[in-house]
């Protein structure tokens, strides 16, 4: 199991040691296999009597019968265990005693290895993602001491030196360092950190040293959230998985009728035993989960968090992608480029000062540009007396007992502020400012495309996306200015958050499977409505991380292409597993058994083939290179 708690560092090789996997239960399993195998061998050599073989068969079958019955009664599902049990019993009572015992031993060995391998895959996923140190060096009253993570408190100052991992989420309060954030963001280029920079648990100080004020510890850190999400990802099953399970349960009665018919015709016990081995639909169930775990782990290593197999499959099948504009396609570095004063009673610096004050607490990318412009002018920006973010429109605040509105024309209209003329934006985003019910100024914000936006859109189209749509609450002129630089098929401007939902629903009604990419600001309902909601820059906002189905830990649009490619690879691998690993091998096996080319023991050996093939085909996803545009 992958654990969300902070644990000791696993081996760096990415592989978990075999010894740690050999639990008491596993040793008992080994003893059971050895005992059954040995007795079968001795009976075959006519050294021990038949009743001892029957005991050995009973000992060998015990765990199979147990899990088989538990599955049958709790999950109403007939697994391999039941098939192997029946095959063994048919062989033993039908006079093929040695074949039955050998077959059972081979299956036990196969199950044992498969089980061990799955655990190893999980363990190496955990090692790939990394870990957080168990202790931290805390400075208090100029004394430094080592404190276990569990005893750390928010607000304490933690020291981290070159080569060490940061143990907490927090903010830098001293020192300079270059930090490798790959465990969270997948970016290999280190980031420079200085006073005020946020830092994350699990990332590594490559050069320099930092004093960090602790903000989040243990299970609250982004890193722990990521581990917990990857762990839970197994629960959100992909539809193919459910389909495989359904087909498996539907196949079982068919298989039994088929076997009875074959027996009535041939009266050949050995043939029935052989057929039983190949008709077990168990790998159908195995074909997807390992792929999904491997793909999710691979994505996590690139800073792409996929919250379940379900979303991997949806993303692989998506054929329309919708981008929110502000903060997603743009907000590379939005900046106020011009200020128009419309009312002599409120001078230009005052417009900026009041707007910045109103926007101080907003997380909107444009709000940040306004606040930055005021800082650049050296204005003293007071804390607002009251503040309210109005979704998709802007903010309303009280500053120095004046009511300040900052946002789009709809905001002003809704507050009965007359707008004497339509603002000509020329591709920039006009932010309207009203003070005490009077429209008194416009801040023009120039926003540029994120680097790589064009490439990302082009790459998505190359990879099967048929329709790319851009949504925005901004005006049409600035929407067009941005969209014209990209290969966007459809532009929808002047939208309220609820209109964004309607656009998604409309695309869905037209038969598209829709992925929506946003930053979680003003677009959360649309993210929720889409078949897959993808949030960008989730390392910054916990809310986006929680709300989305897929969260990108950085603002890099290329990661969407990366996520799509991983999803498509995973989906293809599942199909390969199902058709080649399970379908073809079983059809060939059944044919060979019916033709009498192979007997039960060969069948048991051949049967290992698809198990191993499916496993290897799945875990190779862990190491694939992905194109990120």
Nearer to Mg ion, 186 or 473 (CB): 473
33 binds, among ligand ADP, Mg ion, none (CB under 5 to 8 A by kind): none
The one catalytic residue in 169, 324, 447, 611 is 324
Q: From the CB of 481, what's the least distance to ligand ADP, in Å?
A: 12
Nearer to ligand ADP, 75 or 498 (CB): 498
- Residue whose tokens read 């199909």: 575
- State whether the Cα torsion 544-547-553-556 is positive or negative: negative
Cα dist. 79→41, 66, 253, 291, 553 in Å? 28, 11, 13, 20, 39
What distance in Å separates the CA atoms of residue 549 and residue 531, rounded to the nearest whole number? 9
**Checking phi first, is residue 275 left (phi over 0); if not, alpha (psi -120 to 50) or beta?**
alpha
| Token pair of 191 as six digits | 């980031």
Nearer to Mg ion, 524 or 619 (CB): 524
Nearer to ligand ADP, 366 or 547 (CB): 366
Which residues bind to ligand ADP, rule: CB under 6 A? 324-327, 359, 362, 364, 366-367, 392-395, 406-408, 429, 431, 471-474, 521-522
For residue 271, the surrounding DSSP H or E stretch is: helix 269-279
One of 133, 285, 308, 327 touching Mg ion (CB under 5 A): 327
**520 lies in the site for Mg ion, by CB under 5 A:** no
DSSP 578: I
**392 lies in the site for Mg ion, by CB under 5 A:** no
What distance in Å separates the CA atoms of residue 340 and residue 280, rounded to the nearest whole number? 75
| Token pair of 474 as six digits | 């901004």
| Token pair of 616 as six digits | 């290897």
- Is 324 noted as a catalytic residue in this protein? yes
364 binds, among ligand ADP, Mg ion, none (CB under 5 to 8 A by kind): ligand ADP
Q: From the CB of 241, what's the least distance to ligand ADP, in Å?
A: 35
What distance in Å separates the CA atoms of residue 629 and residue 622, rounded to the nearest whole number? 20
Give the CB-nearest residue to ligand ADP.
Answer: 473
One of 96, 169, 231, 324 touching Mg ion (CB under 5 A): 324
Nearer to ligand ADP, 276 or 356 (CB): 356
**313 lies in the site for Mg ion, by CB under 5 A:** no
Tell me the three state secondary structure of residue 8: coil
Q: From the CB of 527, what's the least distance to ligand ADP, in Å?
A: 12
**533 lies in the site for Mg ion, by CB under 5 A:** no
Q: From the CB of 518, what's the least distance to ligand ADP, in Å?
A: 7
Q: From the CB of 179, what's the least distance to Mg ion, in Å?
A: 28
- 596 φ/ψ angles, rounded to the nearest 5 degrees: 80, 20
Nearer to Mg ion, 29 or 555 (CB): 555
One of 124, 131, 357, 522 touching Mg ion (CB under 5 A): 522
Q: Which stretch binds Mg ion (CB under 5 A): 327-335, 370-378, 388-396, 546-554?
A: 327-335
Q: How many residues bind Mg ion (CB under 5 A)?
A: 5
434 binds, among ligand ADP, Mg ion, none (CB under 5 to 8 A by kind): none
Q: Are 326 and 366 in contact (CB under 8 A)?
A: yes
Q: From the CB of 515, what's the least distance to Mg ion, in Å?
A: 16
β-pair partners for 613 = none
Q: From the CB of 320, what's the least distance to ligand ADP, in Å?
A: 17
Cα dist. 279→83, 244, 508, 596 in Å? 8, 15, 40, 15
Nearer to ligand ADP, 406 or 446 (CB): 406
Strands 467-471 and 204-216: what pairing? Answer: unpaired
**326 lies in the site for Mg ion, by CB under 5 A:** yes
Find the angle CA(609)-CA(615)-CA(618) to the nearest 5 degrees: 135
What distance in Å separates the CA atoms of residue 516 and residue 526, rounded to the nearest whole number? 7
Where in the sequence numbering do the catalytic residues fall?
324
Residues that bind Mg ion (CB under 5 A): 324, 326-327, 521-522
């Amino acid at each position: 199991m992958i654990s969300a708690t902070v644990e000791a560092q696993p081996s760096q090789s990415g592989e978990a040691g075999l010894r740690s996997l050999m639990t008491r239960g596993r040793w008992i399993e080994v003893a059971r296999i050895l005992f059954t195998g040995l007795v079968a061998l001795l009976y075959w050599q006519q050294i021990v009597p038949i009743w001892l073989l029957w005991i050995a068969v009973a000992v060998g079958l015990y765990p199979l019968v147990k899990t088989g019955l538990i599955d049958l009664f709790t999950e109403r599902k007939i697994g391999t265990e039941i098939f192997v049990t029946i095959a063994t019993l048919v062989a033993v009572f039908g006079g093929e005693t040695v074949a039955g015992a050998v077959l059972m031993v081979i299956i036990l060995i196969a199950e044992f290895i498969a089980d061990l391998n799955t655990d190893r895959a999980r363990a190496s996923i955990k090692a790939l993602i990394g870990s957080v140190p168990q202790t931290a060096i805390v400075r208090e009253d100029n004394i430094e001491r080592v404190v276990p993570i569990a005893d750390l408190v928010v607000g304490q100052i933690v020291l981290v030196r070159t080569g060490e991992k940061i143990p907490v989420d927090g903010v830098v309060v001293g020192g300079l360092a270059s930090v490798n954030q790959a465990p969270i963001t997948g970016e290999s280029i280190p980031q420079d950190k200085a006073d005020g920079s946020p830092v994350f648990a699990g990332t590594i100080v490559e050069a320099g040293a930092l004093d960090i004020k602790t903000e989040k510890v243990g299970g609250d850190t982004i890193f722990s959230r990521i581990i917990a999400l990857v762990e839970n990802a197994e629960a959100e099953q992909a539809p193919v998985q459910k389909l495989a399970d359904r087909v498996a349960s539907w196949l079982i009665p068919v298989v039994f009728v088929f076997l009875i018919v074959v027996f009535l015709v041939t009266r050949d016990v050995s043939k029935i035993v052989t057929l039983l081995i190949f008709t077990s639909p168990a790998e159908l169930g195995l074909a997807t989960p390992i792929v999904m775990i491997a793909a999710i782990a691979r994505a996590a290593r690139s800073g792409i968090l996929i919250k379940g197999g379900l979303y991997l499959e949806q993303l692989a099948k998506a054929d329309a992608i919708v981008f929110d504009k502000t903060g997603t396609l743009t907000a590379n570095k939005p900046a106020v480029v011009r200020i128009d004063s419309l009312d002599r009673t409120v001078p230009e610096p005052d417009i900026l000062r009041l707007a910045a004050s109103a926007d101080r607490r907003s997380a909107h990318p444009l709000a940040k540009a306004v606040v930055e412009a005021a800082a650049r002018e050296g204005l003293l920006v007071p804390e607002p007396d009251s503040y309210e973010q109005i979704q998709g429109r802007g903010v309303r605040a009280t500053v120095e007992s004046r009511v300040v509105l900052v946002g789009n024309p709809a905001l002003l209209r809704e507050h009965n502020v007359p707008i004497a003329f339509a603002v000509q934006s020329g591709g920039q985003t006009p932010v309207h400012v009203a003070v005490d019910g009077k429209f008194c100024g416009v801040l023009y914000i120039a926003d540029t495309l994120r680097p790589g936006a064009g490439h990302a859109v082009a790459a998505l189209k190359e990879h099967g996306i048929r329709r790319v749509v851009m949504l925005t609450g901004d005006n049409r002129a600035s929407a067009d200015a941005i969209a014209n630089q990209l290969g966007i098929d459809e532009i929808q401007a002047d939208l309220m958050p609820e209109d964004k939902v309607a656009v998604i629903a409309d695309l869905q009604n037209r038969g598209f499977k829709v992925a929506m990419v946003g930053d979680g600001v003003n677009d959360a309902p649309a993210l929720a409505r889409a078949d897959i909601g993808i949030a960008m820059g989730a390392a910054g906002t916990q809310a986006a991380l929680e709300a989305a189905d897929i969260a990108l830990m950085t603002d890099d649009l290329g990661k969407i292409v990366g996520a799509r490619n991983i999803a498509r690879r995973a989906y293809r691998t599942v199909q390969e597993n199902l058709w080649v690993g399970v379908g073809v091998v079983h059809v060939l096996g059944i044919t060979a058994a019916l033709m009498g080319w192979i007997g039960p023991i060969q069948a048991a050996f051949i049967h290992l083939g698809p198990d191993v093939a499916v496993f290897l085909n799945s875990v190779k996803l862990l190491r694939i290179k992905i194109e990120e545009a």
